[in-house]
Structure 1
């Protein structure tokens, strides 16, 4: 056997080995998120068999002792925050606010790097152009989206054209376009290089509250208060499929990593899983007693998490659609949920003023992140999964590591 090429895969992170075996070209794909401690130690054992037992014992003891510790509270804004977001490396993060500004922060020191000023109303939607991290987009209730330099805080362009508040936005993976969703029932595509409008995606009959590009940037999915979800072809701006089946407003939409599935959450108390290739509903995720306020895939696309106004969250198998565990403990509605990059933890944010960290397999609450004095509406892991930020209506954000 002879190795021919060693390839790196960005998303989901992995490596691909091309090798010659008996005259045939073969490939081996290794998902880096699947690399467990035991697997790595097994590889080390091949080289260092005598010390592996002590290394194993020490690392296991260390892993049991690791919890998120409160690092710093940032009095980020003079009015409540709206959203928080990390850059790719996790070295910087953003906060948006009702005070009409977005701020860029250094994660390690908690130092404010730049204040992005210019919007005339609430800054509601914010994002870095990950994985590059050199640009920022902000969407506002003033009906505009602004594109900024992440290094200097300079505004490159102001995207004008929506007739109502902008409430969601996203960069495509190539960072060539920004998509914005608005209360005017449309989404728009904007060219990052020129600042021009590329397309208006008209088809919904009510507010567009959520949108997401697939991982190759060829399609965009939008969710609306009209109870429907639409898949759009980005190149042409044409509607591909309309996903109908929910009985109430859509709260969130997301593609899985290989672009094959879409998950949606709805005020009808359910989530749904859709085949992205034909627009068919393949499963309905049931069990919540109140509205489903957020949904997400893990990075491998194998698990789905749902968060509800009933104060619980659930983890489902993306393949069997069975509920694997129910996360119970919050005393208020859960508005935000996300997986750690490794997929072994779930983070939830609640109106009960706490965030919680959960074990995916057992459903056990590992830690309660306390200290905020008002509702926590946003939370996020950094890419390594060792730092968390939480944003609250108490005008502060907190860094945990």
Structure 2
């Protein structure tokens, strides 16, 4: 094995090693999820060198500088105030979803008008309209970090793979017998997973556009899915009140997470895939240990359905958003409540951290999106102007641009 170069990853903090083995270029990552500005740099470097054989004594200085750069980035105080940059009359019917590519240079919108559109973030110009679906385009995703492909899932029971540059369709994947409501690429961008009202999740080969495996066993529609960071596992959350952890290669069920008393709304891995968080219509969020499949915590307190859950990048903080109009921030390790986010006058359907973990963004039926301090629960800013409910919102990778998608047929860029 020969080390070729280091790459820095800011969110979550880590160092990527690019190395050659048997003539092939490979990568491995050193996660530094507990790194803080005040952490002893020398101790961190010693620990890395002890565990990682590719780090020889001649590379120690380089590693130290990388760790220091990460500490500087983590220590930066971000008091960014967002202003409205552009209003895009995006579609002739309401939007369903919005998503950024990795760099944030472009984003996509899906709509009831049966199209997906690609937009240039800096100019607000439409780059392509992806046409061909025969019903609502409900679920959309870039193949981040690459960003050269898009997958769209529709109520017409198909998903389509598109080329970002040309806007042309590579493949139409057929096989589901009901609407597709959730999808994503695996981290390597070799597979796409689709979840459907037909109770199955299907995995598709990106290169060939063919189904590789069908994950069956749920007894109601699959509403949420998420790949692990290695891509070797996937979770599916269903209206049958359960979440299932699957082995991607074999298609076999690894664990069933049983305990919720109503439909699942959202299921997410934390970064190192040691935990799964699940939100449910039973007004709770549960935390599960991935290794054993055991429920290790039930977070109660919401007075209505939990509609969305989200970890921060390090997997140490957890957010819940509810139909009761409030959101909560928890310590994912201790399960203690850190803060309550109160102020919305309608249900909160979407919640997310910025990449740095210093802001929380919520989208609500009250026509506003809000920015919050997760430590105190204070509302830092209200993003106003939409004339109907906002049900999708996203940060770019740097955390300095936001898009909001609304039922009012527009999306807004905030910078």
Same fold (TM over 0.5): yes
Q: 1:300 matched to which residue of 2?
A: 314
1:360, distance to aligned residue in structure 2 (A): 1.2
Structure 1 residue 220 corresponds to structure 2 residue 234: yes
Q: Residue 362 of structure 1 aligns with which residue?
A: 376
| Rounded Cα–Cα distance in structure 2 between residues aligned with 1:219 and 1:5 | 29
**Alpha-carbon distance between aligned partners in 1 of 2:90 and 2:59, rounded to the nearest angstrom:** 55
Q: Residue deviations 1:82-138, cap 9 Å, x none?
A: 000000000000000000000000000000000000000000000000000000000
How far apart, CA to CA, are the structure 2 residues paired with 1:135 and 1:32?
32
Structure 1 equivalent of residue 170 of structure 2 = 156
Correspondence for 1:321 among 330, 335, 357: 335
Residues 387 and 98 of structure 1: is their aligned pair in 2 closer, same or farther, counting only changes over 3 Å?
Answer: same
Q: Indicate if the aligned counterparts of 2:49 and 2:56 stay in contact, CA closer than 8 A.
A: no
Contact in 1 for aligned 2:105/2:121 (Cα 8 Å): yes
2:6 aligns to what? 7
C-alpha displacement of 1:361: 1.0
Query: In 1, are the aligned partners of 2:162 and 2:171 still within 8 Å (CA)?
Result: yes
How do 1:87-126 and structure 2 match up within 5 A? 87-126=101-140
Counterpart selection for 1:268 from 274, 279, 282: 282
Residue pairs, 1:2-401, within 5 angstroms: 7-8=6-7, 10=9, 12-15=12-15, 30=67, 35=72, 39=75, 64=79, 66-401=80-415
CA RMSD, aligned part only? 2.2
Supply the distance in 2 between the matched residues of 1:31 and 1:254 (Cα, whole angstroms): 31
Structure 1 residue 289, shift from structure 2 partner: 0.5
- TM-score, structure 2 normalization: 0.86
2:57 and 2:189 map into 1 onto residues whose CA distance is 41
CA distance 1:9–1:244, change in 2 (3 Å)? farther
Instruction: Check whether the contact 2:242–2:259 (CA below 8 A) recurs between aligned residues.
Output: yes
Gaps of 5+ in 2: 16-29, 31-44
3-state DSSP of counterpart to 2:310: strand
- Alignment-derived partner of residue 44 in structure 1: none
- Residue 12 (structure 1) shift: 2.8
Task: Report deviation, 1:7.
Answer: 3.4
Instruction: Find the aligned partners of 1:123 and 1:157 in 2 and give their Cα distance.
Output: 16
Q: Deviations over 1:52-103 (max 9, x none)?
A: xxxxxxxx7xx55x30000010000000000000000000000000000000
What stretches of structure 1 of length at least 5 have no aligned partner?
41-59
Rate the CA distance shift 1:23–1:173 in 2: closer, same or farther, 3 A.
closer
**Which TM-score applies when normalising by structure 1?**
0.89
Change (3 A) 1:186 1:34: farther
Preserved CA contact (<8 Å) 1:357 1:367: yes
